[in-house]
Amino acid sequence: MGKLSLAVDIGASSGRLIAGHLEEGVLKLQEIYRFENKIIQRNNQYCWDVDTLFKEIKKGIHQCGKLGLRPDSIGIDTWAIDFVLLDEKDQPLTDAVSYRDPRTAGMMEEIFKKIGKEELYLETGIQFLTFNTIFQLEALKRNQPEVLDRAKTFLMIPDYFNYLLTGKKSNEYTNATTTQLVNAFTKKWDGEILGKLGINKEMFQEIMPPRTVLGNLKDELVSEFGFDLDVILPATHDTGSAVMAVPEVENTIYISSGTWSLIGVENRFPICVPKACQYNYTNEGGVDYRYRFLKNIMGLWMIQEVKRSYGDQYSFSELVEFAREATAFNTVINVDDGRFLKPENMITEIKEYCTENNLPVPESPGEMAKCIFISLAESYQNAVHEIEEIFEQKFKTINVIGGGCQNEYLNQLIADRTGKEVVAGPSEATAIGNLAAQLMSLGDIGDLTEARTIIKRSFELKKFTPAKSGVNEECTL
């Protein structure tokens, strides 16, 4: 058996620790521990409970010991954009405020008074989302300037957990690029942008690439767990890890499907052209300095919130079946409308949107679910057209990865809407990419090409063809 690595993968609604190792050229996974994550209200803001999340990470490491497992390494990935600031005594100055908090309202316009939109895109290649880190920092600068004045250390969420594990501070590359403060070409913090915005560049850490061995556990944690292990940086942005697990990237558009949908292609260089800016595509960093040219689309967050608004009386699989049965209902909404980012009640918000736009209103759970699924498929189709226009080529395949790839109804909708073959899987793409980066660092996997070859042979994938061309079928690729 090869080296044993431990992936900590934390998403917007849950986290899990998954162990992985190579066995006769196949990547074997074992789920160790799973825990809940949710946004909380603290100091009148929507926040992440990072203290509880770190306790859960430690519980998962303890569980390894109980199972008789001794991992060689651990790597942490989470969502992007959000951060913690530390003071001169390395104590948190801020709560880990969520990107869904409305504090950034109007901040984009304020930033554009200091630096032009086109200039900012040309330098960073990052899409404009109202909640990007750059706008969160502007909100702090305007509303709590004393906090930024005292800040000595800027750490994104996984950077903060890594600091708690090792005592070492760093900013990992793939996550850092999402701040809209990293130069797309130098791959370093952009001092000119930081200067124009009046942000103290000294609080940012050295940017380190995935596969970097950050260090060992702090002594007190070694005593607590009864063993030591290397803390290795995967792509700490969960989408970066997920895209690493796309089995085949040639002539393929990927959709990382979860709370968010990230649709795009892997590229060797950033595309900061006006058309990409107009369509609001991003050039986020990837493993081995690949670029994730993609667009953020509202994802399964909407059905998650609908499920919650129905009091969790229906399972996700039931909502999918209800959607299949709602054959006569075909209302399509704009899933990327900002009103769906954090409404009080998603069902009410969708109904009000339909009423305001003179669209048939979904009434039953099935109509509500179908409205979301066909609207997502429509949004994906529009993005495919944009990508093909920018690249001036047609792509043959769409590879859906992540938890959302298990929704076969949505996969078939995507195939039917786009007219392209859809390959679904692997579902645990983020954890798989996290583990692969660690195993590359440990020497069990040679490079990214080998990693994808191993992933392709290790996990069963499903293929969906457009309805006019035939029926969907299972295949192992």
**CA–CA distance, 12 with 311 (Å, rounded to integer):** 19
Annotated ligand binding at 73? The verdict is no
Tell me what pLDDT residue 471 has. Answer: 39
Tell me what pLDDT residue 157 has. Answer: 98
Strand partners, 232: 213
From the centroid of its chain, how far is CA 336? 16
Give 90's contacts (C-beta < 8 A, 6+ positions apart). Answer: 152, 153
CATH topology of domain 5-238: Nucleotidyltransferase; domain 5 (3.30.420)
Tell me what pLDDT residue 262 has. Answer: 95
**CA–CA distance, 382 with 376 (Å, rounded to integer):** 10
- From the list 207, 173, 192, the residue with the least C-alpha distance to 119 is 192
Annotated ligand binding at 385? The verdict is no
Q: Where are the alpha helices (DSSP H) in 392-447?
A: 408-418, 429-442
Where in the chain are the domains?
5-238, 247-425+446-477
Per-residue exposure over 418-443, b if at least 16 CB sit within 10 Å of its own CB, e if not: bebbbbbbbbbbbbbbbbbbbbbbbe
CA atoms within 13 A on the CB side of 229: 28
Annotated ligand binding at 296? The verdict is yes
Annotated ligand binding at 12? The verdict is yes
Containing 149, the helix (H) or strand (E) segment is helix 145-150
Domain 247-425+446-477: top CATH class: alpha beta
Annotated ligand binding at 13? The verdict is yes
Annotated ligand binding at 80? The verdict is yes
**CA–CA distance, 431 with 244 (Å, rounded to integer):** 10
Annotated ligand binding at 241? The verdict is no
* Residue 238 annotated to the active site: yes
Tell me what pLDDT residue 468 has. Answer: 63
**CA–CA distance, 201 with 54 (Å, rounded to integer):** 27
Annotated ligand binding at 326? The verdict is no
One fold for both 5-238 and 247-425+446-477? Answer: yes
The whole-number mean pLDDT for each consecutive block of 10 residues of the chain, a chain of 477 residues, reads 94 95 97 97 96 98 97 98 98 95 97 96 96 97 95 98 98 98 98 95 97 98 97 97 94 94 96 95 96 94 96 97 97 96 95 98 98 98 97 97 96 97 96 98 97 96 82 36
Annotated ligand binding at 144? The verdict is no
DSSP string for 276-322: HHHTT-EEEE-GGG-EEEEEEEE-THHHHHHHHHTTT-S-HHHHHHH
Among 190, 230, 238, 416, the active-site one is 238
Q: Are 407 and 365 in contact (CB under 8 A)?
A: no
Tell me what pLDDT residue 2 has. Answer: 85
Tell me what pLDDT residue 469 has. Answer: 42
CB count in 10 Å sphere of residue 168:
15
Annotated ligand binding at 237? The verdict is yes
